[in-house]
């Protein structure tokens, strides 16, 4: 199961590539599967490819959910 | 973001000269969804699932919905059951197609546009709640077929247009550099569902982290579905698996056109496991996905368990390991790339790290 981790597009590069930020960590990915992408958009990534574009509110809710999940995992481990 | 659980797989290939002596797999760790979901109304979680799962989100929703309905003792009408299969099939088609292009096969501008066209057209057919008129359905299917043809898929089984980028890719992935051993293959089928979901609900993460059936770790996914239809060779390399995936994309397209009515069979199955307990299996792109739930009297979640296809295929003693162990490998980068391509053809739903070590240098 691939968790849907949203990433913010911070720079559009040539050849359908882009730089995204995942919680402050930058990563270069392919955006060949998505049209009309702009800086500030949020995308869901899988193995170095942006799969879908999601709106910022949805991205925020997803990040909150993942934080909650991570906290639960910490709780289970402690 | 720093997750408190591993969301990738580590694969270490141990070489004794040119032979793959062993393969070690460190699986991803499962996020604690039961802890997160516990106490929440079952119906409130349905919209949460696509937010969590970036791949096969429709399959996850259908599995969850069907498991909850089974736990509640609800009977689903035949029409509803039929309507739910279409979005699962559409998602399987798009995931199989996207999986061909995400990874080692670089998309050029033309093929990227064609994949995008299929993904976009499929959204029209992928809704379970909205009926699609016949003319619109025909129009969308024509768009999908035109885009697949642009990629080199001729619509006749696994045949690819000579000279197409996809044909060249399959040719390159033909297994040169790796001689896989002939192994006895075992496949997960709907007949296994009840045992799997019973174990899943009883043992939770202990079972879903390393599933087995009386010591057997069957393969699930495209190759298993092909094996249900016809005999498959005992040594299945990358090219054979890619061709099977391409053939299935054509079959799913034919199913959506109403030509091939078998491709959707067994797409969704649900099981009542006692009062307040239910489970479901959904045949998604990578194989059989299971959800199992236990509800209290107020239909709130007491237990939620799931088992993804990757756990079978990337089990430490599973199908991938069996396909690699004992194989003879070409030296250097070429051999390593071939192993990477074979792993990619098993299509894990998370990223993977691959490393090579020589035995005796542990």
- Give the domain ranges of chain A: 5-77
Residues in chain B: 362
From the CA of A57, how many Å to the nearest CA of chain B? 11
Handedness of CA A35, A38, A41, A44 (dihedral sign): positive
DSSP label at residue A36: S
Nearest to A61 among B51, B107, B349 (CB): B51
Q: What is the ipTM of this complex?
A: 0.87
Helix B109-125 to helix B134-151 angle (10° resolution) is 160
| Rounded average pLDDT over B332-340 | 88
Give pLDDT, residue B274: 94
Judge whether residue B224 has pLDDT over 90.
Answer: yes
Please tell me chain A's helix, strand, coil percentages from 3-state DSSP, rounded to the nearest 5.
30, 40, 30
For residue B110, what pLDDT band results from cuts at 50, 70 and 90? confident
Grouping H, G, I as helix, E, B as strand and the rest as coil, residue A52 is strand
Residues of A in contact with B107 (CB under 8 A): 16, 30, 32-33
| Rounded average pLDDT over B178-188 | 82
Handedness of CA B113, A49, B124, B253 (dihedral sign): positive
Helix boundaries (H) for A14-55: none
| Contact in structure between B62 and B268 (CB atoms under 8 Å) | yes
Residues in chain A: 78
- Which residue does chain A place closest to B3, by CA atoms? A70
Q: How far apart are CA B13 and CA B5, in angstroms?
A: 23
Between 3.30.565.10, 2.130.10.10, 2.30.30.140, 2.60.120.370, what CATH number should domain A5-77 receive? 2.30.30.140
- Are A1 and B3 inside 8 Å of each other by CB? no
Q: How far apart are CA B282 and CA B267, in angstroms?
A: 5
Q: Touching check for B214 and chain A: CB below 8 Å?
A: no
Judge whether residue B314 has pLDDT over 90.
Answer: yes
- Are A2 and B2 inside 8 Å of each other by CB? no
Q: In what helix (H) or strand (E) does residue B345 lie, and over which residues does it extend?
A: helix B332-346
Q: Touching check for B50 and chain A: CB below 8 Å?
A: yes
pTM for this prediction: 0.92
Cβ neighbour number for residue A29 with a 10 Å cutoff = 21
Give pLDDT, residue B67: 97
From the CA of B361, how many Å to the nearest CA of chain A? 30
Q: How far apart are CA B321 and CA B11, in angstroms?
A: 10
Q: Identify the contact set of chain A against chain B, taking CB-CB distances under 8 A.
A: 1-5, 16, 22-23, 30, 32-35, 44-49, 51-52, 58, 61-63, 65-77
From the CA of A54, how many Å to the nearest CA of chain B? 10
Question: Residues 310..349 of B with a Cβ closer than 8 Å to A: which?
Answer: 310, 349
Question: For residue range B273-307, what is the model confidence (pLDDT) as tens digits?
Answer: 999 999 999 999 999 999 999 999 999 999 999 99
CB pairs under 8 A between A and B: 110
Cβ neighbour number for residue B337 with a 10 Å cutoff = 16
């Amino acid at each position: 199961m691939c968790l849907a981790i949203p990433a913010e597009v911070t720079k559009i590069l040539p050849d359908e590539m882009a730089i995204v930020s995942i919680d402050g960590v930058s990563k270069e990915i392919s955006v060949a599967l998505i049209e009309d992408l702009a800086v500030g958009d949020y995308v869901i990534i899988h193995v170095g490819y942006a799969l879908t574009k999601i709106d910022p509110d949805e991205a925020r809710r997803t990040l909150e959910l993942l934080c909650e999940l991570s906290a639960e995992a910490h709780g289970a481990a402690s | 973001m720093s997750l408190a659980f591993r969301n990738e797989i580590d694969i270490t290939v141990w070489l004794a000269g040119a032979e793959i002596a062993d393969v070690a797999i460190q699986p991803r760790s499962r996020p604690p969804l039961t802890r997160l979901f516990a106490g929440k109304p079952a119906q409130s979680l349905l919209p949460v699932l696509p937010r969590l799962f970036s791949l096969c989100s429709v399959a996850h929703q259908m599995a969850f919905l069907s498991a909850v309905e089974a736990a509640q003792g609800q009977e689903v009408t035949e029409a509803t059951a039929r309507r739910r299969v279409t979005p699962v099939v559409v998602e399987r088609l798009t995931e199989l197609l996207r999986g061909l292009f995400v990874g080692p096969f670089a998309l050029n501008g033309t093929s990227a546009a064609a994949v995008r066209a299929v993904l976009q057209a499929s959204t029209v057919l992928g809704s379970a709640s909205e009926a699609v008129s016949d003319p619109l359905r025909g129009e969308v299917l024509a768009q999908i077929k035109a885009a697949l043809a642009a990629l080199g898929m001729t619509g006749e089984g696994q045949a690819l247009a000579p000279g197409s980028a996809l044909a060249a890719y399959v040719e390159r992935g033909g297994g040169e550099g790796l001689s896989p051993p002939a192994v006895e293959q075992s496949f997960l089928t709907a007949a296994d569902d009840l045992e799997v979901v019973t174990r899943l609900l009883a043992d939770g993460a202990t079972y879903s982290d390393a599933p087995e059936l009386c010591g057997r770790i069957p393969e699930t996914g495209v190759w298993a579905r092909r094996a249900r239809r016809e005999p498959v060779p005992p040594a299945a390399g990358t090219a054979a698996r890619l061709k099977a995936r391409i053939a299935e994309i054509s079959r799913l397209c034919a199913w959506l056109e109403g030509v091939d009515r078998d491709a959707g069979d067994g797409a969704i199955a649900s099981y009542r496991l006692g009062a307040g307990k239910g489970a479901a299996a959904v045949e998604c792109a990578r194989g059989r996905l299971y959800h199992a739930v236990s509800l209290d009297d107020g239909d709130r979640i007491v237990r939620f368990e799931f088992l993804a296809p990757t756990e079978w295929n990337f089990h430490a003693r599973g199908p991938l390991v069996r396909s690699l162990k004992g194989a003879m490998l070409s030296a250097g980068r070429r051999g390593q790339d071939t192993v990477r391509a074979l792993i990619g053809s098993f299509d894990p739903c998370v990223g993977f790290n691959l490393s090579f070590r020589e035995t005796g240098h542990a």
